[in-house]
Amino acid sequence: MQVHVLASGSKGNATLLQGKDANILIDAGISTRRIKQELAKLGTGLEALDGILLTHEHRDHIAGLTTLTKRYRLPVYTRPDTWLSMTLKDTIPPECCRDLNNSLDLGSLKIEPFAISHDAADPVGFNFFEDACKCSVVTDLGFVTDSVKRALSLSDIMVLEANHDLDMLKNGSYPWSLKQRIMSNRGHLSNMDAGWTLARLDRKNRTDVFLAHLSQENNRPDIAKNTVSSILAEQGCEVGEDVRLYLTYPDRCASMDE
């Protein structure tokens, strides 16, 4: 399995997961043009996609769907309540709208959604299985529940939210109501929360972790990586060996081979 985070952040999110015989786009929060450009850099195209999975209905995860589905007629899978809450559903061809239940098989990939805590209709993370490899994708969650910990355990690859530095958020320019939303159990995961989540998980000998959905206002890549690395090191984890950390960006693709 290969994972490429095409874009990550409040301005738009999209991730490509490639299996042996299936290519999946997770969220489509950037333009079709940009998705096409990023895929071309990876040597593939939109016509190679087998489907789109949506984590939830917020605009930074669905903004590119209308053009993408009208031009390419790709199937889009998400929870029934997410479809009901999606303002742009009427702009998507009906044959592209597919309900996502407890599991889905696309080619050799087995896909299992799991519930997460976020202020959306029925938000989910995803587990992908192929042969002995497991990949977990979970962003936009305010709190890591026990069920989420179980879902993330023993993953080979993980895309995990590290949205904000708590001090930067508290001292930043956002109105207090927005700060409260971000810090709530249905908001976004801080760098510290991401670090402790990784430290407390059952892990394999090595896990590749993308730190995702970094706030441009309330975080910096170096702060996110240093905070998570420090927590892991304090808990006896060898960063770079036991866990390899990768940063994601709003304006360019991040891949494991970088």
In tens, the pLDDT along 175-222 reads 999 999 999 999 999 999 999 999 999 988 899 999 999 999 999 999
User: How far apart are the C-alpha atoms of 157 and 134, rounded to whole Å?
Assistant: 7
Provide the whole-model pTM.
0.96
Query: Which residues constitute the domain of residue 214?
Result: 2-255
Percentage of the chain modeled with pLDDT above 70: 100
3-class secondary-structure state, position 188: coil
Which pLDDT score is estimated for 258? 55
Domain count along the chain: 1
CATH assignment of the domain containing 27: 3.60.15.10
Q: Is the pLDDT of residue 234 over 90?
A: yes
Place of tokens 């995990």: 160
3-class secondary-structure state, position 147: helix
Q: Which of 7, 6, 10 is nearest to 182 (CA)?
A: 10
